[in-house]
Structure 1
Amino acid sequence: MIRLIGAGGRPGQEAAELDTFWTIPNIITVVRFLGVPLFVWFIVQQQYAAAVITLVVLGSTDWVDGYIARRFNQVSSVGKWLDPVADRTALIVIAITFVVDGVAPAWLVWTIVIPDTILILNALILFRGPLHLPVTNVGKIRTALLLVGSPMLLLHRVPGFNQEWLIVTAHIILIIGCVGHLIAFYGYFTAAHRKYRAERTPVPGEGAVDDA
């Protein structure tokens, strides 16, 4: 899975970071984000097969935009914060929709929403605004597991796919993904406090008066 996460990168070559929104990966991210309300509409209409397909597209494009960014040197400063924000927002909306519709138990929402809420409040208190930290491998794996487990769980609602092994497997994947979410939360929380302390620590010699 680690090799899939870093796919597209060129060993020994560090791509320049683009200072523009208009890149193919960013456009894919925006389109993926716009697919979230479409997914909600399919759930409301109880069109579960279409909702599953939408989730699969959302999950696959999350990997595609990262691959394109690394493979074709289209990593941008905007994309570094836009992609994780879109992922987290999508996961929260999907989890809430699942619970409201009775597809998933309430613990799925609380495990995702509470840590993310704490991170947002933590950033607002420490930095007076959003904090965009580099996405960790644990965070990427967490997102991948949740985006795989979610359509599998929903697939159980599609006629002809109501096998018990499917829902059991989906729950196992989602539980592992939620554990990863908590581990990623701890990593981001501690990283935010390390950054805060580093910014408040005076640089040696800075502000010293030259008596010469």
Structure 2
Amino acid sequence: MNLPNKITVARICLIPIFMIFMLVPLPMGSFEISGNVLPTAYAAGFFLFILAASTDWLDGYYARKYNLVSNFGKFLDPLADKLLVTAALLSLIELQVLPAWMAIVILSREFAVTGIRLVAASDGEVIAASSLGKWKTVFQMTALAVLLLDGLFYAILNIPLGMILMWIAVTLTVVSGVDYFVKNKHVFKHSM
């Protein structure tokens, strides 16, 4: 397994640890920032999420720089992104920070895109992420990170930055999903 793929696997391994910090009541105390009390476990979860999300850039950088792009990496990298996004979405729903419908839109697109990738793969075709899909991922990750510490960002900026970013992410999710299916409609034609 090459270095970029090892980084991607490490991202996947961080996901359950992130969820433990976000969802399991850990006796780690709390601290105050800008008049907001923040559980230490949430701060740890936030930093784990940032670490895991940043490995998405890191594995891609090494894959391109050292010509280590592989079909396995093209499959595993977007899967790792989807797993991380799903974990964060479910955590935010459980914490009553995010409306479930937004998560459903995002996850529906991700399942649909994964489905078409699997159909294409059965025909020996690997479909890499588009630039619009990459922007979607950037906004999803940024919105989720901000929402993980939503009270803190709101207290500092006095605007609902997390939800503003999430609306952009949901919009890009829909637009990139439509774009993805239009550009890859040949996969459906060949599989019918």
**Per the shorter chain, which TM-score range?**
0.7 to 0.9
CA–CA distance in structure 1, aligned partners of residues 154 and 120 of structure 2: 48
CA–CA distance in structure 1, aligned partners of residues 159 and 105 of structure 2: 19
Distance verdict in 2 for CA 1:80–1:121, change over 3 Å: closer
More strand by share: 2
Distance verdict in 2 for CA 1:60–1:119, change over 3 Å: closer
Structure 2 residue 132 is matched with structure 1 residue 153: no
| Cross-structure match for 1:111 | 105
Structure 2 residue 127 is matched with structure 1 residue 169: no
Distance verdict in 2 for CA 1:75–1:119, change over 3 Å: closer
Q: Where do residues 126-205 of structure 1 align in structure 2 (5 Å cutoff)?
A: 132-157=126-151, 163=155, 165=157, 168-197=160-189, 199=190
Structure 2 residue 76 is matched with structure 1 residue 82: yes
RMSD: 2.7
Deviation at 1:117, TM superposition (A): 3.2
CA–CA distance in structure 1, aligned partners of residues 76 and 187 of structure 2: 20
- Which ranges in structure 2 are unaligned for 5 or more consecutive residues? 26-40
CA–CA distance in structure 1, aligned partners of residues 78 and 116 of structure 2: 17
Q: Percent identity?
A: 28
The TM-score, its normalising length taken from structure 1, stands at: 0.73
8 Å Cα contact 1:156-1:166 kept in structure 2: no
The TM-score, its normalising length taken from structure 2, stands at: 0.80
Q: 1:38 aligns with which of 5, 17, 33?
A: 17
More helix by share: 2
Q: Where do residues 88-107 of structure 1 align in structure 2 (5 Å cutoff)?
A: 88-107=82-101
CA–CA distance in structure 2, aligned partners of residues 128 and 75 of structure 1: 16
Question: Paired residues, what number?
Answer: 176
